[in-house]
Chains A and B, each alone.
Chain A
Amino acid sequence: MKLRHLAIAAATAATLSGALLGNAQAQAKEQFFPVLVYRTGAYAPNGVPWANGYVDYLKLVNQRGGINGVKVTFEECETGYATDRGVECYERLKGKGATVFQPLSTGITFALTEKAPVDKIPLITAGYGRSESQDGSVFKWNFPLAGTYWVAADTIIQHIAKKEGGLDKLKGKKIALVYHDSPFGKEAIPLAQERAKMHDFELQMLPVTAPGVEQKATWLQIRQSRPDYVMLWGWGVMNSTALKEAQATGYPREKMYGVWWAGAEPDVKDVGASAKGYNAVMLQHGAEKQSAIVKEILDKLHGKALGTGSKEEVGDVLYMRGVQSAFYAVEGVRAAQERFGKGKVMNGEQVRWGLENLNLTQAKLDALGFKDVLRPLSTSCQDHMGSAWTRIHSWDGSKFVWASDWYQADEMIIKPMVKSAAARYAAEKKLTPRTPADCQS
């Protein structure tokens, strides 16, 4: 009896330790992509389409024949948007040969920013993360490709100014920033303050405690102070709650502008017709049901029952964000292969080089199905963002429609801010910025 118990206990212990030890190494000719996702928890409605898009694009790359013949493999890990689980996922997937991470959480990005240089694994944070990490001379391993929160805030203000009839017309106006009270929400503040100083408009800051289901007090303040415009820096359930509160308060949705994480179908669907007129700035793409890439995914994956998630959401805003993020990661590997050997499996340092020397021309984008979805992007040692173009779209009650032409963030404002914030970070960490020679390597 006792012996049997002991044997069972020993067997269980052996299995358990085996499960923890079992870090399968990446096979030859397979490029491994870790996928940090949150399919459960408070942010799941927004996390799921992103994850599906990300995984679908990786599957599509395999359908197209891999990256110059190198097969793509991937594994998901659930972070639940929690920093400590994110770190655990990072450590787990790192051991399986991961060469590029995309955490999809500003909090996890901050934690991984400290770990990535040690492990020599680049981080892509397309449309989130630290805004100053655009400066590649300090943030060697961070790639906020295609846009940061400063770009988002800058272009929203440009759009508002255009509607008012010029930047000088902003004088005396009142703009409220309703933000998720976390590093994510706070990222926009420095730029909004800078612009407020330049154009002499009043900036009202209204933090919303995470996850943002309780906003009565915030909207009471808005009802009292009646700002001319509201910028919404929300994520997950906070967005639909804000729209419902705006409706209850009677604040016009036409005057509300969301960041690109607050302008997708899950945010407005529950609110439906009452969200009509609500705007959001977009990280280049919007809802792209008509694009070639979506048609290809529907044809090659969902048509053959290989797709992830439901067919209906293919081409939705956050699904496209996932596709876009995976696309950048894959192109980083492809660029690395062009230098270090086509058809070879790249390591973290090589992928970092690839991401730093990305040159996605219009011809390349068109060939891969991203015509009218994405704009050309080219990165360098100094600029890890590569492109600062956005558009505004608005919800017409049943779908998103473009409400503006392209905007480019004002480099004159963002560049000095990036420089000084990056220098501050470097001083705090006692880092020496990279030399031009290091940039060449």
Chain B
Amino acid sequence: MLYRENGQFKTSYRADQQIFTISQDRWAIIALVAFAAIAVPLLADEYQFRAILIPFLILSLAALGVNILVGYCGQISLGSGAFMAVGAYMAYNSYVRIEGMPLILALLSGGFFATLVGMAFGIPSLRVKGLYLAVATLAAQFFCDWTFLRVGWFTNNNPSGSVSVSNLSVLGWSIDTPVAKYLFCLAFLVTFGLLAKNLVRGAIGREWMAIRDMDVAAAVIGIRPMYAKLSAFAVSSFIVGVAGGLWGFVHLGAWEPAAFSIDRSFQLLFMVIIGGMGSIMGSFFGAAFIVLLPILLNQLLPWAGGLVGVSVSTAALSHTEVMIFGALIVWFLIVEPHGLAKLWSIAKQKLRIWPFPH
């Protein structure tokens, strides 16, 4: 009733090529972005910004990047944590070493170097596929961990190997309050989200998907596998690198290579798998699931325990959190192997014919 496209005619190619062809979708997204940009800063408190919303935005951005590579181009990568680390450390180096370097430019340069590293480690994808490629990209993870731990230049010869930044500002707008940090990350996420959505709808996105679905057939119809695969690695690493820069600069403030360990790579891959491979929306769902759920469980369990008169110890809480989290992952994957994004599209389909299902 509410969600029907009846009567919405496309009278031009322009109208047909819109991102959201149904006006309800369009308005919903505009309302969502407006809500995130205007209402959330007024409603949320400092804890929600710093512990929940900012990590969620940054990891959504990273998951978006990984989804382009894994979900759209079908190249399984376990090196995402490493590309985040490259983004963070190179952004740090350009920020600290070049006097007067603007913050945004520093973050983008982090993305640029992540692109170079990503393409270098993407070269094996021309020969090896699937799980074998996952192992090959794992090398990126160990290589980067080793480099940032051992090569003093990357950490500005800091004896402890930990680096930090502070007093961030963009064009005189100082990014130190939680709201400013949140809006800064949101701006990056919206921009890159729009870019990614348009890329995957365009010619290059279709090439990626063709490679993913069957690379031999794609090559036969004239898609260059090298170009398609390496461009996917490049775009993905760029976005992941920028997310890494934001994670270090905006969220942590001071970091060491352990912040971008192999766990981070797995976490990002799980976000994509749970959220939905090959879906921009899925990246957000996946990030929300992985970032928010453990924190939520951690806070909800003592409260739930209190209702039945049980006080939960910290260790038991932490174990229960992991168990419930694991069980939920399994449950969601059984209910919908295509991820949360698929559930979302099923819900939309149902909503279309509601309240008169046939």
Chain A residues near B (Cβ < 8 Å): 2, 15-16, 19-23, 37, 39-40, 44, 48, 51, 76-78, 80, 83-84, 87-88, 91-92, 94-95, 106-107, 110-111, 113-115, 118, 130, 181-183, 186-187, 189-190, 207, 210, 421, 428-430
Decide if A186 touches B159 in the complex (CB within 8 Å): yes
The residue in chain B whose Cβ has the minimal distance to the Cβ of A429 is B166
- Tell me the minimal C-beta distance from A244 to chain B in angstroms: 24
> Shortest distance in angstroms between B63's beta carbon and chain A's nearest beta carbon?
15
Q: How far is the CB of A128 from chain B (nearest CB, A)?
A: 12
Alpha-carbon distance A207/B151, docked complex (angstroms): 13
Mask, B31-71, CB within 8 Å of A = 1, is: 00000000000000111101110010000000000000000
Which residues of chain B are near A182, meaning CB under 8 Å? 161, 256, 258
A84-B296 in contact (CB<8A): no
Measured between beta carbons, the chain B residues less than 8 angstroms from A421 are 159
> Given known contacts A95-B47, A114-B164, what 15 new A-B pairs fall within 8 Å (CB)?
A40-B315, A40-B318, A83-B252, A84-B55, A87-B50, A92-B47, A106-B160, A110-B160, A110-B254, A110-B255, A111-B254, A114-B253, A183-B256, A207-B149, A428-B96
Q: How far is the CA of A39 from the CA of B314 in the complex (A)?
A: 7
Q: Which of B21-29, B76-84, B129-137, B297-305 contacts A (4 or more CB under 8 A)?
A: B297-305
* Cβ contact within 8 Å between A183 and B160: yes
Prevailing SS type, chain A contact patch? helix
With both beta carbons as reference points, the residue of chain A lying nearest to B354 in the complex is identified as A2
Cβ–Cβ contact B47 & A91, under 8 A? yes
Would you call B159 and A83 a contact (CB within 8 A)?
no
Residues of B with C-beta under 8 A to A115: 253
Are the C-beta atoms of B296 and A23 separated by less than 8 Å?
A: no
**Does B176 interact with chain A (Cβ within 8 Å)?**
yes
Residues in chain A near residue B166, CB distance under 8 A: 114, 429
Query: Which chain B residues lie closer than 8 Å to A87 at the CB level?
Result: 50-51, 251-252
Asked if A95 meets B45 with Cβ closer than 8 Å, knowing A110-B256, A113-B254, the reply is yes
Distance (whole angstroms) from the CB of A266 to the closest CB of chain B? 15
- Docked-complex contact B256 and A107, CB < 8 angstroms: yes
Q: Chain B interface residue count: which class? A: 35 or more
Q: Which residues of B contact A83 (CB under 8 A)?
A: 252, 255-256, 258-259
* A39 in complex: contacting residue of B167, B299, B318, CB < 8 Å: B318
CA–CA, A88 and B234, complex, Å = 32
User: Chain B residues in contact with chain A, CB under 8 A?
Assistant: 45-48, 50-52, 55, 96, 149-150, 156, 159-162, 164, 166-167, 176, 251-256, 258-259, 295-296, 298-300, 303, 313-315, 317-319, 355
With A78-B314, A83-B252: A19-B300 Cβ-Cβ less than 8 Å? yes
Q: How far is the CB of B177 from chain A (nearest CB, A)?
A: 9
* A186 and B161 contact, Cβ closer than 8 Å, known pairs A84-B259, A87-B251: yes
CB contact between A183 and one of B162, B252, B315, B319 (< 8 Å): that residue: B162
A-B contact pairs, 14 of them (CB 8 A): A20-B48, A20-B299, A84-B55, A87-B251, A88-B51, A92-B299, A94-B47, A95-B46, A110-B160, A111-B252, A113-B164, A113-B254, A183-B161, A430-B167
Are A181 and B45 neighbours in the complex by a CB distance under 8 Å? Answer: no
Q: Are B164 and A110 in contact (CB under 8 A)?
A: yes
**Are B149 and A107 interface neighbours, CB within 8 A?**
no
- The answer on a CB contact under 8 Å between B255 and A111 is yes
Contact B299 A19 (CB under 8 A): yes
- B320 → chain A closest CB, angstroms: 11
- Rounded to whole angstroms, the CA-CA distance of A44 and B253 in the bound complex is 26
Complex contacts, B149 vs chain A, CB 8 Å: 181, 207
Expressed in whole angstroms, the Cα–Cα distance for A21 and B46 within the complex equals 10
The reply to whether A114 and B318 form a contact with Cβ atoms under 8 Å apart is no
Please name all residues of chain A whose beta carbon is closer than 8 Å to the beta carbon of B46 when the two chains form the complex.
91, 94-95
Bound Cα distance from A106 to B51, whole angstroms: 20
- Closest Cβ of chain B to A193, distance in Å, is 9
Q: Answer whether A78 and B48 are a contact pair too, CB < 8 Å, given A19-B296, A20-B296, A183-B162.
A: no
Question: With the chains together, A78 CA to B51 CA distance in Å?
Answer: 14
Most buried by B among A16, A37, A91, A113: A91
Give chain A residues whose Cβ lies under 8 Å from the Cβ of B314.
Answer: 37, 39, 51, 76-78
Q: How far is the CB of B133 from chain A (nearest CB, A)?
A: 24
Which residues in B have their C-beta under 8 angstroms from that of A190? 159
Residues on A with beta carbons closer than 8 Å to the beta carbon of B162: 106-107, 110, 183
Q: Which residues of B are found within 8 Å of A39, using beta-carbon distances? A: 313-315, 318
Across the interface, which residues of B come within 8 angstroms of A187, CB to CB?
Answer: 159-160
Whole-angstrom distance between the alpha carbons of A429 and B253 in the complex?
12
| Shortest distance between the CB of B110 and any CB in chain A (Å) | 18
Residues of B within 8 A of A186 (CB): 159-161
Within the complex, the shortest CB–CB distance from B53 to chain A, in Å, comes to 11
Residues of A within 8 Å of B318, CB to CB, are 39-40, 78, 80
| Bound complex: CA A207 to CA B149 (Å) | 10
Tell me the minimal C-beta distance from A15 to chain B in angstroms.
8
Cβ contacts under 8 Å, B253 to chain A: 111, 114-115
Residue of A nearest to B315 (CB): A39
Residues of chain A lying within 8 A (CB to CB) of residue B254:
110-111, 113-114
The answer to whether B47 touches A23, judged by C-beta atoms less than 8 angstroms apart, is: yes
Give chain B nearest CB distance to A133 CB in angstroms. Answer: 11
CB distance from A296 to the nearest CB of B (A): 24
Please pick, from A16, A76, A77, A114, the residue contacting B300 in the complex, using a CB distance under 8 A: A16
- Contact residues in A for B355 (Cβ distance below 8 Å): 2
**Partner pick for B296 among A16, A37, A207, CB 8 A cutoff:** A16
User: In the complex the two chains form, what is the Cα distance from A118 to B180 in whole Å?
Assistant: 14
Taking CB atoms, residues of chain B closer than 8 Å to A2 are: 355
- B303 surroundings in chain A (CB, below 8 A): 19, 22
Are A189 and B159 closer than 8 Å at their CB atoms?
yes
Q: How far is the CB of A170 from chain B (nearest CB, A)?
A: 22
Query: B294's closest neighbor in chain A, by CB?
Result: A85
Complex partner residue of B160 from A51, A84, A130, A429, CB under 8 angstroms: A130
A80 to chain B, nearest CB (A): 7
List B contacts of A107 (CB < 8 A).
162, 256, 258-259
Complex Cα–Cα for A421 and B46 (A): 33
Q: Measured between alpha carbons, how far is A25 from B88 in the docked complex, in Å?
A: 36
| Residue of B160, B161, B164, B317 contacting most chain A CB atoms (<10 Å) | B160
Name the one of A77, A91, A110 contacting B50, with C-beta atoms under 8 angstroms. Answer: A91
Give the distance in Å from the alpha carbon of A187 to the alpha carbon of B162 in the complex.
10
Report the nearest A residue to B257, measured CB to CB.
A182
Tell me the smallest distance from the CB of B61 to a CB of chain A, in Å: 15
Least CB distance from B300 to A in Å reads: 5
Distance from B125 Cβ to chain A, minimum over Cβ atoms (Å): 27
- Does the CB pair B160–A78 fall under 8 Å? no
CB <8 Å contact, B176 and A118: yes
